[in-house]
Amino acid sequence: MDIEIAPGKRARQAYSFDDIAIVPSRRTRDPEDVSTTWQIDAYKFELPMLAAPMDSVVSPETAIEIGRLGGLGVLNLEGLWTRYEDPRIPLGEIASMPDKHATRRMQEIYSAPIRPELIKERIRTIRDAGVTVAASLSPARTAEFHKAVIAAGVDIFVIRGTTVSAEHVASEREELNLKKFIYELDVPVIVGGVATTTGSLHLMRAGAAGVLVGFGGGAAHTTRKVLGIEVPMASAVAEVAAARREYLDESGGRYVHVIADGAVGRSGDIAKAIAMGADAVMMGSPLAKASEAPGLGWHWGSEAHHSQLPRGERVNVGTVGSLEEILLGPSHSADGSMNLFGALRRSMATCGYSDVKSFQRVEVLISHGK
């Protein structure tokens, strides 16, 4: 529904996850009879989740553990792991520095050059553990480093930025023609973020195996303050899911996965994202609270140390439990921060659905954040 702000300027009404509620149906089932499996291309996962490519969340070691637990950890190939031989030193400094110096010092730490040999080494570490290997680059760096990434043996490639288009134009470095790029690769590519029908259809037509909806990093972003950009996620996911249905008909049956990336901070948000049409979620802050997380109780994204225009913050999220407890339980908290996928399983069971795909059809109501 369009609302007139002033003559000549209209805006659409949109809803966040806090604005909606899931409605149980007449049927229920046992949680043990519910499947949360998710498959993209040839890769099948027990949990419909990706760990966000943020240095405070994913290290080679946590990527391996997340893979062992049934999810997919995405390593940031522009982070500390590919700039430093031993990233524990800068990670410790970031976790201990005072707030007033944090942004400037993080810019200095992340000014170290990316080393292609470390890209190969980090990917090999994950691959040798026998889990699916996923790694991420920004659109601006993809053309520069993708050959090193593919040569290292990545299984799934993620291109993640604040906003990603089908053609990234840059005057000072090689342009990224996404359609040509994906065509030349032989691994599935997940791309984002997008929030509209037009933007998502461009990426789908370019050959993306999955699209990231939203701009990620909700807990650590200041994008709304700095750029004026924000996405109410319930509406964005539903709109991109509708675009996926349009593309499914247009392409003769090619299915593109919709992945909610942003505002997924609690277990209830995961259920709501899937209810709006997502196949999976990408999470950052819930996993940054793990005892194994490399951020040591702190959380930040790549936007926090942008050399020209930082639009993120280092946030103290604390520690609530192990990765296994956060993802699979048992939970020792009633705030939705632990046993995230046990909660999803119970939500699906309460509404009578047996798998993630069917749960996308669940009824929802507008609750206005209550």
Q: pTM for the full model? A: 0.94
Alpha-carbon distance 18 to 10, whole Å? 24
Give the span between the Cα atoms of 161 and 191, in whole angstroms: 8
Q: CA–CA separation, 251 vs 140, rounded Å? A: 29
Q: Are 261 and 193 within 8 A, CB to CB?
A: yes
The terminus-to-terminus CA distance of the chain in angstroms comes to: 22
Q: What is the pLDDT of residue 174?
A: 54
Cis peptide before 193 (omega within 30 of 0): yes
CB-based contacts of 310, cutoff 8 Å, min separation 6: 103, 107, 222, 226, 303, 304
Cα–Cα dist 248/256, whole Å? 8
CA 277 to chain centre: 15
| Domains in the chain: boundaries | 18-366
Q: 18-366 has which fold?
A: TIM Barrel (3.20.20)
What does the block give as tokens for 9? 């300027």
pLDDT tens across the length of the chain (370 residues): 788 999 989 998 999 999 999 999 888 999 999 999 999 999 999 999 999 999 999 999 999 999 999 999 999 999 999 999 999 999 999 999 998 889 999 999 999 999 999 999 999 999 999 999 999 998 888 888 988 888 899 999 999 875 555 554 454 555 567 888 888 888 999 998 899 999 999 999 999 999 999 976 555 566 777 777 788 999 999 999 999 999 999 999 999 999 999 999 999 999 999 999 999 999 999 999 999 999 999 999 888 888 888 888 899 999 999 999 999 999 999 999 999 999 999 999 999 999 999 999 999 999 865 5
Closest listed residue to residue 50, CA positions, set 232, 212, 236, 244:
212
Beta-carbon contacts of 82 under 8 Å, excluding residues fewer than 6 positions away, are: 114, 115, 118, 119, 122
- For residue 344, the model assigns a pLDDT of 98
* Sign of the CA dihedral running 361, 66, 286, 257: negative
d(CA 304, CA 42): 34
Which of 176, 180, 247 lies closest to 211, judged by CA?
Answer: 247
Q: Can you give the pLDDT at residue 218? A: 58
